């Protein structure tokens, strides 16, 4: 009789051990799938280099002696962008100077990092500067 109880007790111990290992493995896998998300509000200003119905690109720095321009591209969601000093995005033109406030969302996965930009506010600063040589081309 004691031998039967010992075998039952031994089997119960093995089952408890197996179940605890399954639980530990599932917890570790769940932590590996977790994503660390950081959100940061940033601001940049520069000259519009390209604009479309769902994007805007601005040159925010120029190194004339090296002939280098630094440009940043943003996707646009017209319904969620606040405009300051303009009524609509259609009023913005290439060459206009603007300030863009955007949210940068970074998702850190186990093996990779992804970043997204979401434009919050576009502030019009000043219109494009018309260059004299362009004005003279139209005059005959």
Q: How far apart are CA 48 and CA 128, in angstroms?
A: 9
Residue 69's pLDDT band (cuts 50, 70, 90): very high
Q: For the domain with range 36-129, which CATH number is right: 3.40.50.170, 1.10.3720.10, 2.40.160.50, 2.40.50.140?
A: 2.40.50.140
Phi and psi at residue 34, in whole multiples of 5°?
Answer: -65, 145
**Residue 72, SS3 per DSSP:** strand
For residues 49-79, b (16+ Cβ closer than 10 Å) or e, as one string? bebeeeebbbeeeeeeeeeeeeebebebeee
Q: What tokens does 132 get? A: 């004299």
- What pLDDT, on a 0 to 100 scale, did the predictor assign at position 87? 93
Residue ranges of the domains in the chain? 1-34, 36-129
- What pLDDT, on a 0 to 100 scale, did the predictor assign at position 130? 75
Residue 139's pLDDT band (cuts 50, 70, 90): low
Which tens digit of pLDDT belongs to each residue from 10-35? 777 777 778 777 777 776 555 556 78
- pTM here is 0.68
């Amino acid at each position: 009789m004691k031998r039967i109880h010992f075998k039952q007790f031994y089997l119960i111990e093995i089952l408890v051990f197996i179940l605890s290992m399954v639980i530990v493995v599932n917890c570790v896998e769940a932590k590996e799938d977790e994503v660390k998300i950081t959100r940061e509000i940033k601001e940049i200003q520069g000259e519009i280099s390209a604009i479309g119905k769902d994007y805007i690109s601005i040159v925010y720095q120029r190194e004339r002696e090296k002939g280098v321009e630094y440009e940043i591209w943003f996707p646009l969601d017209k319904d969620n962008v606040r405009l300051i000093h303009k009524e609509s995005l259609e009023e913005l033109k290439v060459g206009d100077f603007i300030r863009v406030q955007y949210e940068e969302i970074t998702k850190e996965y186990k093996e990779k990092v992804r970043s997204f930009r979401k434009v919050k506010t576009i502030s019009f600063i000043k219109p494009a500067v018309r260059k004299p040589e362009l004005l003279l081309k139209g005059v005959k």
